[in-house]
Amino acid sequence: MDSRPVHNELHVRSLLWRVLGGQVLGFLEVLYFFIGVGLLGMLISQHVSFVKYGACDAEVGEAVRTLSGEAQILELRVNRKLSKAEKGGEDGRIEDSTAFRFSTDRRLLLVPREQIAGSQIGLHEVVIEPDSQCFGSFASKSLIKYVLGHEVILLNVFRRAVEKEKVKGYLYSYSDHKLYPLAPPPDNNWWSVYRGKFAACVTSLFLMHTMSGLIMFSLRHIQVRILKLSVDLRAYMLSQISCSALEVIVHYALDAIVFVPIITGVLYFLREFFEDLFFSFMVVLVAWMREVVLLVNARHWANEKRLQQLLSAYFFTFHLYFFCFPMGYSWLALFTCTLFMQHAVIMTWNRSIRRHSIYASNVNALSPLHLL
């Protein structure tokens, strides 16, 4: 029997896989790169405009300056215009969920508005329109209104006002029901600034190594247990022991419950740093995918191109931004970091396919190219 048609078919399939796979990976590489660069530009522009500096500080700073004594409350909110369907045919506005209450006494933050009206507690209300000039251009206003929200902007407005007026107080957010203690920095010299940056670097490295160690421990033990499960299932199927495969699977499933408190402990451990359980879960998810990719590529050519160092650098940059600017755009920074990490993985795989396609002499119809 002539094997040449079979060899030709395998050769054609190998060529199609290399061409189509390379084109798809090339398209994804370019796509993730441009989206990541766009998100990075958005993060830098929004951070410079509203975290480091701010155009909405004048009214809030004046209101914070007027707080005398402890029986004063300052409320700041952003109103939004209603559509005709929301208005029910009537003109007017409603209050957006973006609202904050500031006071030097934390007990006054939960006092209802009805009780404030009939008491001697002074209430200062500041309303900022969504089309205010302090939110920048039309594109910036649309981005803030429909994508980013006003929470980060208002948080930093209060932070800068407290630092400028040297007032210690508490800020309550109605949107996420969180309490933020605000106080001016004790000193603003160069030593305190560099000490804070150094502490952020040490905390970022500590968290990255802790998560990496725990995740690698879990992955390696899961891999060992899956191999043992496969061996035991094969042994039970070939033997005459009266034991079903379901019993073996249940036994290993109950044995694997030990990883549940480990992952739960990691989540609540990270919550002490990130102060949000869902955000901590997303950070753990990104770290888990990073370790899985590095484990899959442990013996691959991609490891020679320092994929691990590149992913670690992106992840470290995200941690450094979060701990240097705890009231910054953390979600946007996490999304940007994730996109750049995906771009790094796809770029490495794409370069690997091109290198093997051009220089590898052992790629033929009988031994086609494998991605991993």
DSSP 216-261: HHHHHHHHHHHHHHHHHHHHHHHS-----HHHHHHHHHHHGGGHHH
Going from the first residue of the chain to its last (372 residues), give the mean pLDDT of each consecutive group of 10, the final group possibly shorter: 47 52 76 91 88 72 61 74 46 54 81 74 77 79 83 84 80 83 75 83 90 84 78 70 64 73 82 86 90 76 69 92 89 93 85 57 48 42
> What CA dihedral angle connects 49, 50, 56 and 57, to 10 degrees?
-110
Please write the tens of the pLDDT for every residue from 28-55.
888 889 999 999 999 998 888 888 877 6
Block residue for tokens 């500031």: 102
Residue 91 to residue 69: CA distance in whole angstroms: 39
pLDDT at site 37:
92
Residue type, 240: Q
- Burial pattern 203-234, b for ≥16 Cβ within 10 A else e, equals ebeebbeebbebbeebeeeeeeeeeebeebee
Catalogue the E-assigned strands of the chain. 72-81, 93-103, 122-128, 169-173, 178-182
Residue 149 to residue 286: CA distance in whole angstroms: 24
pLDDT at site 336:
94
pLDDT at site 85:
45
Run of H or E residues at 138? helix 138-143
Report if pTM > 0.75.
yes
